[in-house]
Structure formats: C-alpha cells, structure tokens
A and B are shown apart, each in its own frame.
Chain A
Amino acid sequence: MINLLGISCFYHDSAAAIVQDGEIIAAAQEERFTRIKHDSTFPRNSINYCLEEAFLEPNELNAIIFYDNPIYSFDRLIKTFINSEKSIEDQWCKAIPRFLSSKFSIQSLIQDMLNIQIPVYVTRHHLSHAASAFFPSPFESAAILTVDGVGEWATTSISFGQDREVETLKEINFPHSLGLLYSAFTYYCGFKVNSGEYKLMGLAPYGNPVYVDMIYEHLVAIKSDGSFRLNMDFFGYLDSDYMTNQKFHQLFGGLPRKPETMITKKEMDLASSIQKVTEDIIKGLAKHAKELTGSDSLCLAGGVALNCVSNGILDNSKLFKNLWIQPAAGDAGGALGAALAASHMLFKIPRKLNINKDSQKGSLLGPSYSTYEVRAALDQYGAIYDVVDDAKERAFRIANAIKDGKIVGFMNGRMEFGPRALGSRSILGDPRREDTQAKMNLKIKYRESFRPFAPSILKSRANEWFDLNNDSPYMLLVTTISKDKRKSFNKKELSNNNLLNIVNIPKSTIPAVTHVDYSARIQTITIENNSEYFNLISAFESLTGCPVLVNTSFNVRGEPIVCSPDDAYKCFMRTEMDLLVVENCIMQKSHQPHNQPDDSWKDQYELD
C-alpha cells in the first residue's frame, strides 16, 4: 500500500489530502477546522483529519508532497524585486521573512508535527493543479488546462494526461496572468482579492461589456495561439501592495470603489467586460490545447476554473466533447493533485479508470460525524431535537417544511472538499417562492446580495428545467433556465442602479435561482453522489412537482462553511433559519432554548 499525503499552504486556502494506492481517501481545507476563512497557515488540522480518516500512523506514510516548489517561487519573488527600480523596501520586509519562515520550513513543520523523519517532495504548482483535474476525471486521456494567479513562475499551463502520466506542454509565465487580471478588476470594483472574484462574476449579467475594447487596447494582448500578455504599465502588483495603479484608475475614470459602498452601473459594466475578456481568453487557450493534443476531452483546474460562467460557455462551445473540472480548483485542490501526481507519476501506481464515473467521490472527502457525535454535541447545547431514523420519513418532514417556506440548515455525511456546498453542508429553501431569496440573504446570510442562489436539481429532470449539455455534479457550470420556465420582466430595470430591486423581480417559476440573464449555477444530483440529499429533493418533487431546491453554503457572511455539528448548531442559532437537520436529528428554531439570533459572529468573522 502506498500512502501519500499532499499539502498546500502559505498562499491561500491551505489543505491536505491523502491518497492510498491512487485512491482518494480524504481531503479538507484548513479553514473548516480553524474557522478562519481562507486560512493559509500550515494545515495541521487538515493533516490530522486525513490521517484520522485513513487511520494511518505517520510512519505508514511513504512520502509527503508539497504542491509547489519553494525554490522557484523564491526565484520569482527575488526577480520581481530586482525588476523594480524604485525602492520597495516595505514590500521586501513583509514578503521575505514570511517566505523564509514558511515555504522553506515546510520540512521541519511537518517533522515537528508528525515527530518523524519522512521524505518530503516538492512538485510544481501547475502540475499539482493538472493532476488534480486529470487523475480523478473519467477520461483515459485528456488535454488539461490550468489557469490561476501564479504558482512559481507559471500562471497558465497546457498539459496532456494519459494513463498515469501528465506531461506539461506549454506555460505562460508571471506577470502575464488571467487570474491576476481578473483579481485586478475584483479589487477595482471594491471586492476582496482571492475571495470576491465570484461576486464580480455574479455582477456581470447586470452590466454591458462596454469596456471590452478598452481592455484589449490597453491591458491585454491576445496572440493567435491563444496566449496573452498584460501591459504591466497599468497594474500595481509588481511593485506595490495594490493590484492596480494610477494609470489603470485614469483609464477607467476614477479610484477603485470603496468596499461596502453602493455598486453602480460602472462596476456592472466593468464586471461584464472582464467576464467577456476572460471567456475569450479561456476559449483561445482551450482551442490551443485542442490543437496541441487533439484530444476530445478537457480537464480544468486552477482558480480561474471556478469561473462557472466561462466554464458553461466552454461547455456549450462543443470545442471538446467532454469536460471535467476539479471541484477544488483553487490552491486547496493542489494538495490533492500533489498526492495524486506522486502516486501515479513517482510511485507508478496504475490508474484505476472508470469511464462512467469520476473518482472524486462526489467531492465528499471531508469529515463525517456519527449520530453519537451529533447527539453528544447537541446535548451540550441543550438543543431540543427529534431523532428521525427512517430516511423516507426524514426526507418528507424536511421537504414539507421547505414547501411551507421554511429555511433549512442541512448537514449530513462527509463534508465537501472545495468552495461549494453540494448538499452536505448546505442551507436549503424553496426556489418557487418569491421571498426565498430576500429571506435567505437578509435573515440568514446577513448580506444584501445581488446574486441569486444556486439550484440543485435531480439529474434525471435537469433537461426539462435547464439548457444543459453536460452533467454538473459540482456546481461548476452556469447554464440558462428553459424558455418555458422563464417570466418576462421589464429590462429597463437593468439600467436602474439599485440591484436589490432588480434581483427581487421574479424572472422564472423558480425566481430564487434565476439570474437577470436567466442563467443559473446548476448542480445536478444523483443518488450515487449524495443519497440523503437526493431523497430530500425527490420528496420535495413528489410534494410540489418541482425537482429543484435552493442550495447555498451553510455559513454566515465571512464564516467558513460549517464542518462539525457544533458549527452547524452555532450557525443555526445565530441566524433566522427555521429548521436544522444534522444527520438524523431535526431541530426547530422555535423549540430551542435562548432562540434569539446572536450577533456576536459579526465580531468573530471578518466580512468577505
């Protein structure tokens, strides 16, 4: 048995993953345990969990694989400083100690924790991403495209995966980065870099792509082979703490939007424009990947692969017959990729391919909690709950509550690996009700969001409700709602700056999950992926005729998705959720002691 532990950390979203003889056993992000969103520290808790799940002693590990080569990352860091003719001592004094004390110390941090001498390999950042996308995919061979901010020197790579090998064919290097370009606009539009990108994507449908020409004229040059270069005269990330600089601000007519201030038409148009540019670049890169490999299948990873709008467009383009995207496409997934790459490429473990099913296990790779553990936790809080052991009865009881407009916190089985809640740590609601979106946003998430929620739908019914070509088990594709489900609305509203008015206009028979352009970030559910969630949606369908539920992540704003029963109960009690389901225990808010919402979380979590 070859046991390999993969680790990613010290940039953002640290994580660990364990792979036994090429089979994924466990993977989790550190933030879920420390309750610090995007925690980038050494993933001590995640490592502990992975060894727990595999029930392995440290001396049973054959090696530990770090997802990134610190030597090359340091080389880039130093050369970035050389590049600057102005003094950037402040940046130096922040970056150099941080680097020297983290990435160069990875071996001693591991050995301190596990109290054992063990081989520590480093691999390449984009090979980790590529391996995370190819090896779990159901493809015998595939083109692999990885696009992110930066890892070592590379920002983009095209590889070819076949059997147990991944060969990197071409790369684009720093500072020319689609991820950093998108982050620059994220920053300029007043959202947080490395976490607000999905908000920018959600804002895009409100705007018009009026700045596209300006972006191509001044910021990005796309070549005929799909590669691209950025004009660094407009960006700040080479020699300052900011993504954009004065020249960028002049180009777009003013300073960046201040966070939490009103979003204007300008931000909507900027979001729409950079989204269009991103889609163009991704299509160009994919086209070149196709030319290089001749493959019918494409695998995607890297932070940009979380742009599900662009993924949906790529899927619809039919450039590739098959598409598979790693659900933990960001750096957290690098831990998994590093372990998988080493399993197959270094330790030569044969790949067990199932062409009908990926080997990501529904991305349910995190901890689960037994009913004993759930009850031990709930009893500590004095929670009042019913134990409903019969799965069918449970599903109907929850489905009935949702039908009646209740908002339900739903926790079952193993936690998801990756940024999306897929029905194991989710907040659920009725998509048909016009008030669901506002209620979930204001009373549960405590935000005023312009983004609709995502729909989970039974896979067997997906084509009746959405224009979907492919399966979307990981909520990574955006598609449009079927024409017969749409409702017309006054498009003039879109010129209105008040997004909250627009978002609350019913645009379909399932308004809570329909965006202004009739798009939806869809998740398809099968019994194999998550039987408990499948049973619930099936029960809801039999009660209502609607095989769709609203699915949003189980957390409040700024909080990582809940992991344990304790986290779930605390989050439930902090919000105006009506019902909490943790495994076979069902709780009604009105029955709980001290059932007044508690605002203290707002001090605990930094808003995203």
Chain B
Amino acid sequence: MARRLFQYDPLISYRFIPCLKARVDHESGGYLFKTNTLGFRSKHEFNKCKEPNQKRVLIFGDSFTAGDGVSDGKRYSDILENMLPNTEIFNFGMPGTGTDQHYLIWKNFAMDIEHDLVIIGLQVHNINRIIARYRKYLNKEGNTILLAKPYFELDSYGRIQLRNVPVPPEKLSIESLNSDQLEYIERTGRMIWLRSLIKKLGPSAKDFAQRLVRFQPLEAYNTRLNPAWLLMEAILQKWVSEIEKPVIICPIPLYQYIEQISSPNHYQERFRSIERIPKIFIHDPLQDFLQFPYNIRREFRFKVDQHFTPSGHKVLAESLLKSIKPLLTNNSTNL
C-alpha cells in the first residue's frame, strides 16, 4: 500500500503527518506533495511573524483547498501566491474535514500567526460535514471504517458548544453503531438506488442520471432555518468574531453547480445572507466558472474524482484574485 498520510489529532480528528514527502496514485496520473512540520500541505513553515513589507493570507478549507488530485504548485492557493507580489499564502486545508474542524484548526494552529487576510474556502458540501459525528474512510486494506470527529452543537442561547473532544481515536465499524449514532454518519449523497445503478453503468452514466432526475445535492441550504445552516452560520459568526482582519468566505461549488446539473440558488442565497456580518466578504466564484462552455467546464474536474483539476484551480484562483487584491491593498489597518 501507499504511504500513510494522516496521523491522529485529538482536536481535529487527524492531520497530515509532518514533514511528509508523498505521491498519491490518482487518475490525474498521480500527484506529489510535501507537508510542513505542523502537518499541513504547505511549502511554508508557519512562522508567527511576517517579514517587513510582506503580506500574508491564511486559507482554510477541505480537500479542495488542500489540493487533492493536484501536485503542490498547482493548487489555487499556490497560483494565487504567484499572482500576488510579496505575499505568502499559508494553506491550512485538510482533506475530508468540515467547517467546524477548520475553525478548530484556526484556533489551535493559526490564530496567533500574523496575517492580513483570511480566506475560508468553504466547499458547499461542508454543510453535511458539520452535522456529522462520524465519517467513512478506507483503511489500508481497502475496507470501510468509521472515525469520530469533533462537532459543535447549538445551545439554547444559539452559541456553539464543542463536543467529542478529545476525539476518540478508535476505528469503528458500521455494525458497532446504534441506530441513533447511525444518523450521524456523514451523508455522501442521497438516492442510494441511483448510486448503485450508476456503479453498474460506469462514471459517464452518473452525469446523465443526475441531469435526468434534476439532482439537488444539498437540501440543507433550502431554508434559512434548516438546523445545519443555523449551525454553519453560528460557526462562521463565532470564527469571524475572533479574526481582526477581513475574511473572505468563498463558497466553492460542487461540480453539479458548475456543470449546471443542479440549481445553486439556495446555497447562494444563504451565503449572501451572511454578508451582513462585519468583516465578511462573500466571494462567489460560480459565475467565473460558468462563463466557460460546457466542454471546458467538464475539464475542471477529473473523470471520476470530483476534485478540481489544475485548470479548475486556475479558474478559482483567478476568480478569487479579484476580491483579494483590493482587500490586501487597502488593508493596512484592522477592520
């Protein structure tokens, strides 16, 4: 089997193993990356102080930000760094995690680091992760296992309360969970019948089937009172309250939105609604993806894996640049 990439972390659930030099066999042809001494996929060591005249951006997110499927240098954070003069970008992206865990990464590893801007690369699918307490993974033998994760609950005052920390390190099987616990395994999609059908037909049948049924992957965004959205809103509000610098929240669209299989209206509406919170700038990159013809847009993800290809990362970086530039230029003082 390939090299182990993650180690247990009692707060986050897991992190990359520090100082890794790894190659992941992948349909892209494989990708190479290194991790720093803190266990993040970054060429930078996360020093607390900046050099004079240096700008610094901290980016948080999941696998789309960490760069699953692409080598170091080809991720949107790396491309942005090349586009921005005298700017270093610290990438705290962690595959398979949710916005709740990204907030914990901020608290535990980032909040003392001098910076000018924070970007939360919020893959819209994260709304399902923050309500989950267990997540499916594969072990090295290729079998499915469950791992617990930290999670937040809203108390009666609408405040977030951290649960399940330290995260139990034990691997669990689905059979070991009771019916209540089963409800908290992260949902990887609806329509089980559809998934089992497309397994038989192969990957290209999946797009066709989703179009056919007007697939809407994330119903938690449908109403502003949905418990998952309320939790998301509370986590973001709390997180942003701890940041003195401007914060860009970038809802990273699933391919179903980029390829116009599903309607983005609900999630866009939800994220627009939090722009009222001070310091938050919502940068919605969907429109920049949609300006390309369908056949090009299909190239923004891999054939099977849904993560961005290098061209997908490039579009996202170019899109984000429009929001970042003015904030970095104008931001000499705290907001």
Query: Chain A: residues with CB nearer than 8 A to chain B?
Result: 33-35, 44-45, 48-49, 51-52, 55-58, 113-116, 367, 369-370, 372-373, 375-377, 379-380, 564, 566
Does B7 lie within 8 Å of A45, measured CB to CB? no
A552 → chain B, closest Cβ, in Å? 24
Does B1 lie within 8 Å of A33, measured CB to CB? yes
Q: A45-B1, A52-B23, A373-B20 are in contact. List 8 more A-B contacts (CB 8 A).
A: A45-B25, A52-B32, A114-B29, A115-B28, A372-B20, A379-B7, A564-B1, A566-B4
Bound Cα distance from A48 to B3, whole angstroms: 10
A563's nearest neighbour on chain B, judged by CB, is B1
Contact of A566 among B8, B29, B140 (CB under 8 A): B140
> How many residue pairs bridge A and B at CB < 8 Å?
72
B22's nearest neighbour on chain A, judged by CB, is A52
Contact of A377 among B4, B19, B169 (CB under 8 A): B4
Does A48 lie within 8 Å of B29, measured CB to CB? no
B37's nearest neighbour on chain A, judged by CB, is A372
Residues of A within 8 A of B30 (CB): 48, 51, 58, 113-115
A33 → chain B, closest Cβ, in Å? 6
Bound Cα distance from A58 to B8, whole angstroms: 31
Tell me if B95 counts as interface (CB < 8 A to partner A): no
Q: When A and B form their complex, which 4 residue pairs have the shortest distance between CB atoms, in order from nearest?
A: A115-B29, A52-B23, A376-B7, A48-B25
Contact of B17 among A33, A45, A58, A376 (CB under 8 A): A376
Bound Cα distance from A113 to B6, whole angstroms: 24
B140's nearest neighbour on chain A, judged by CB, is A566
Does B3 lie within 8 Å of A51, measured CB to CB? no
Residues of B within 8 A of A55 (CB): 21, 23, 32
Residues of A within 8 A of B7 (CB): 372, 375-376, 379
Contact of A116 among B4, B25, B27, B29 (CB under 8 A): B29
Residues of A within 8 A of B71 (CB): 57
Tell me if B2 counts as interface (CB < 8 A to partner A): yes
Tell me if B18 counts as interface (CB < 8 A to partner A): yes
Main secondary structure of the interface of B (DSSP, over half): loop
A50's nearest neighbour on chain B, judged by CB, is B23
Bound Cα distance from A571 to B24, whole angstroms: 25
Contacts known (A113-B25, A116-B29); A45 close to B2, Cβ less than 8 A:
yes
Contacts known (A33-B2, A115-B28); A376 close to B23, Cβ less than 8 A:
no
B297 → chain A, closest Cβ, in Å? 20
Please name 14 pairs of A and B residues whose Cβ atoms are closer than 8 Å in the assembled complex, sorted by A: A44-B25, A48-B24, A51-B32, A52-B21, A56-B32, A115-B27, A370-B19, A372-B19, A372-B20, A373-B3, A373-B17, A376-B4, A377-B4, A380-B169
Residues of B within 8 A of A51 (CB): 23, 30, 32
Residues of A within 8 A of B2 (CB): 33, 45, 48
Contacts known (A44-B25, A51-B32, A370-B19); A376 close to B3, Cβ less than 8 A:
no
Bound Cα distance from A45 to B30, whole angstroms: 11
Residues of A within 8 A of B6 (CB): 376
Contacts known (A370-B19, A566-B140); A58 close to B4, Cβ less than 8 A:
no
A373's nearest neighbour on chain B, judged by CB, is B17
Does A367 lie within 8 Å of B32, measured CB to CB? no
B71's nearest neighbour on chain A, judged by CB, is A57
B35's nearest neighbour on chain A, judged by CB, is A372
> Binary interface profile of B, 8-44, with partner A (CB < 8 Å = 1, else 0)?
1000000001111111110111101000000000000
Residues of B within 8 A of A373 (CB): 3-4, 17, 20
Residues of A within 8 A of B24 (CB): 48
Query: Chain B: residues with CB nearer than 8 A to chain A?
Result: 1-4, 6-8, 17-25, 27-30, 32, 71, 140, 169
Does B1 lie within 8 Å of A52, measured CB to CB? no
Contacts known (A115-B27, A372-B18, A376-B17); A564 close to B4, Cβ less than 8 A:
yes
Residues of B within 8 A of A369 (CB): 3
Q: For A52, A116, A379, which residue has the most chain B Cβ atoms within 10 angstroms?
A: A52
A165 → chain B, closest Cβ, in Å? 33
Bound Cα distance from A48 to B20, whole angstroms: 15
B28 → chain A, closest Cβ, in Å? 6
Does A380 lie within 8 Å of B27, measured CB to CB? no
A48's nearest neighbour on chain B, judged by CB, is B25
A56 → chain B, closest Cβ, in Å? 8
B113 → chain A, closest Cβ, in Å? 21
Bound Cα distance from A35 to B272, whole angstroms: 52
A235 → chain B, closest Cβ, in Å? 40
A52's nearest neighbour on chain B, judged by CB, is B23
Bound Cα distance from A57 to B310, whole angstroms: 14
Residues of A within 8 A of B169 (CB): 379-380
Residues of B within 8 A of A33 (CB): 1-2
Residues of B within 8 A of A44 (CB): 25
Residues of A within 8 A of B3 (CB): 52, 367, 369, 373, 564
Contact of B8 among A45, A57, A379, A564 (CB under 8 A): A379
B301 → chain A, closest Cβ, in Å? 14
B74's nearest neighbour on chain A, judged by CB, is A57
A109 → chain B, closest Cβ, in Å? 13
Bound Cα distance from A372 to B19, whole angstroms: 8
Residues of A within 8 A of B140 (CB): 566
A183 → chain B, closest Cβ, in Å? 31
A49's nearest neighbour on chain B, judged by CB, is B23
Does B23 lie within 8 Å of A48, measured CB to CB? yes
Residues of A within 8 A of B8 (CB): 376, 379-380
A52 → chain B, closest Cβ, in Å? 3
Q: For A55, A113, A379, which residue has the most chain B Cβ atoms within 10 angstroms?
A: A55
Contact of A372 among B17, B23, B27, B29 (CB under 8 A): B17
Residues of A within 8 A of B29 (CB): 57-58, 113-116
A114's nearest neighbour on chain B, judged by CB, is B29
B6's nearest neighbour on chain A, judged by CB, is A376
Bound Cα distance from A33 to B4, whole angstroms: 12
A368 → chain B, closest Cβ, in Å? 10
B302 → chain A, closest Cβ, in Å? 10
Residues of A within 8 A of B1 (CB): 33-35, 45, 564
Residues of B within 8 A of A564 (CB): 1, 3-4
Residues of A within 8 A of B21 (CB): 52, 55
Residues of B within 8 A of A375 (CB): 7
A145 → chain B, closest Cβ, in Å? 37
A34's nearest neighbour on chain B, judged by CB, is B1
Bound Cα distance from A103 to B25, whole angstroms: 22
B55 → chain A, closest Cβ, in Å? 29
A111's nearest neighbour on chain B, judged by CB, is B29
Bound Cα distance from A202 to B267, whole angstroms: 71
A186 → chain B, closest Cβ, in Å? 31
A116 → chain B, closest Cβ, in Å? 6
Bound Cα distance from A55 to B30, whole angstroms: 11
B82 → chain A, closest Cβ, in Å? 17
Residues of B within 8 A of A57 (CB): 29, 32, 71
Residues of B within 8 A of A45 (CB): 1-2, 25
B72 → chain A, closest Cβ, in Å? 10
Residues of B within 8 A of A115 (CB): 27-30
Q: For A116, A377, A380, A564, which residue has the most chain B Cβ atoms within 10 angstroms?
A: A380
A35's nearest neighbour on chain B, judged by CB, is B1
Residues of B within 8 A of A566 (CB): 4, 140
B37 → chain A, closest Cβ, in Å? 9
Residues of A within 8 A of B22 (CB): 52
B38 → chain A, closest Cβ, in Å? 11
Bound Cα distance from A35 to B4, whole angstroms: 15
Residues of A within 8 A of B25 (CB): 44-45, 48, 113
Bound Cα distance from A376 to B17, whole angstroms: 7
Bound Cα distance from A34 to B1, whole angstroms: 6
Residues of A within 8 A of B32 (CB): 51-52, 55-57
Bound Cα distance from A56 to B72, whole angstroms: 12
